[in-house]
């Protein structure tokens, strides 16, 4: 079975529209790390903080932030589990979407509580 | 006794770590002391533990004191370098809700709180009164604890 390198980005600030725009509390990052280890085993964080800008579809305002980038090698059958988990990440990190590269193409995982 | 105290006030006896874990602590702490890049530090200690606990159920690994200690050093660095903040009562309340309730709706129903009000509090747009917070914590068998912040000098 093929193994794919998946990547996702978690901005270091909450969304200003659905959250406070503040940095995340440390317990949020702690939980993410524990969840990734328990659910998916190995992962790597890419060095630095990729910066990006996108237009918020609701406010029509440009949004810029730095993100932490995570890389996980997964068998194809396990990718849906990561996709599902990233919905939780979107909720817990107060994001409208989470940028996710599934090994083949980019997806934007939406916050189900919006 | 050599001990390590976490940001949340938990104390670990370093003398009770295994020989291998003591070595890991020494390596990780030495690296922490030079104030490395936060991402790099995270990768180093997680790789080190992954290597040391190869084949062990990850659910066990995250409960090990050495994991908690390294995670705490990670948090200290992240806060110091300005990439994360200390949690306030709203973050801790959100944590309790996600751990003990299926949904915020269920929590609000059981506590008799308006969902919109809770959302505003957890989104840091409003504060909850200390009386209301204490009432909720009493129902959940939790209490308020004061701990020092990262870099406290008093």
Residue of B48, B50, B58 to mutate when probing chain A, most A C-beta within 10 A: B58
Least CA distance to A88: which residue of chain B? Answer: B98
pLDDT for residue B154: 64
Q: Is the ipTM of this complex over 0.90?
A: no
Contact call for residues A90 and A96 (beta carbons, < 8 A): yes
CB-based contact B39 A31, cutoff 8 Å: no
CB nearest B84 (choices: A25, A31, A43): A25
Is the backbone of residue A26 left (phi > 0), alpha (psi -120 to 50) or beta? alpha
**Cα–Cα distance, B134 to B142 (Å, whole number):** 9
CA distance A103 to A106: 8
Sort residue B147 into left (φ over 0), alpha (ψ -120 to 50) or beta.
beta
Any chain B CB within 8 A of the CB of A114?
no
Check whether domain B89-139 has CATH 1.10.260, yes or no: yes
* B97 φψ region: left (φ > 0), alpha (ψ -120 to 50), beta (else): alpha
- At residue B84, the pLDDT reads 95
The residue extents of the domains of chain B are 14-80, 89-139
Contacts of A94-97 with CB under 8 Å at 24 or more apart are A94/A14, A94/A15, A94/A18, A94/A19, A94/A20, A94/B123, A95/A10, A95/A11, A95/A14, A95/A15, A95/A18, A95/A19, A96/A15, A96/A17, A96/A18, A96/A56, A96/A57, A96/A58
Which chain A residues are within 8 Å of B88, Cβ to Cβ? 25
Least confident residue range of A105-109, B80-84, B97-101: B97-101
pLDDT string in tens for chain A (114-residue length): 789 999 999 999 999 888 889 999 999 999 999 999 999 987 788 777 888 777 777 887 877 789 999 999 999 999 999 999 999 999 999 999 999 999 999 999 999 987
A83, A4, A9: which is closest to A39 by C-alpha?
A83
Q: Which domains does chain A have, with CATH numbers?
A: 3-110 (3.30.70.120)
């Amino acid at each position: 079975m093929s193994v794919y390198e998946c990547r996702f980005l978690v901005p270091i600030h909450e969304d200003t529209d659905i959250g406070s725009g503040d940095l995340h509390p440390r317990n949020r990052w702690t939980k993410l790390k524990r969840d990734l280890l328990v659910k998916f085993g190995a992962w790597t964080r890419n060095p630095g903080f990729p910066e990006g800008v996108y237009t918020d579809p609701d406010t029509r305002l440009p949004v810029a932030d730095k993100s932490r980038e995570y890389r996980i090698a997964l068998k194809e059958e396990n990718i849906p589990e990561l996709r599902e988990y990233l919905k939780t990440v979107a909720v817990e990190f107060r994001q409208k979407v989470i940028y996710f590269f599934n090994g083949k193409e980019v997806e934007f995982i939406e916050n189900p509580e919006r | 006794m050599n001990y390590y105290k976490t940001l949340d006030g938990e104390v670990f006896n370093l003398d009770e770590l295994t020989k291998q874990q003591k070595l890991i602590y020494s390596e990780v702490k030495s690296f922490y002391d030079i104030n490395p890049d936060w991402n790099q530090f995270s990768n180093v200690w997680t790789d080190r533990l992954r290597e040391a606990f190869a084949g062990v159920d990850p659910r066990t690994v995250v409960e090990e004191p050495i994991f908690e200690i390294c995670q705490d050093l990670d948090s200290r660095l992240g806060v110091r370098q300005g990439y994360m903040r200390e949690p306030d009562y709203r973050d801790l309340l959100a944590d309790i809700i996600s751990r003990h309730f299926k949904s915020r709706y269920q929590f609000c129903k059981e506590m008799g709180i308006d969902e919109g009000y809770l959302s505003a509090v957890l989104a840091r747009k409003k504060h909850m009164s200390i009386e209301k917070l204490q009432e909720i914590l009493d129902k959940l068998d939790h209490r308020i604890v004061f701990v020092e912040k990262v870099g406290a000098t008093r």
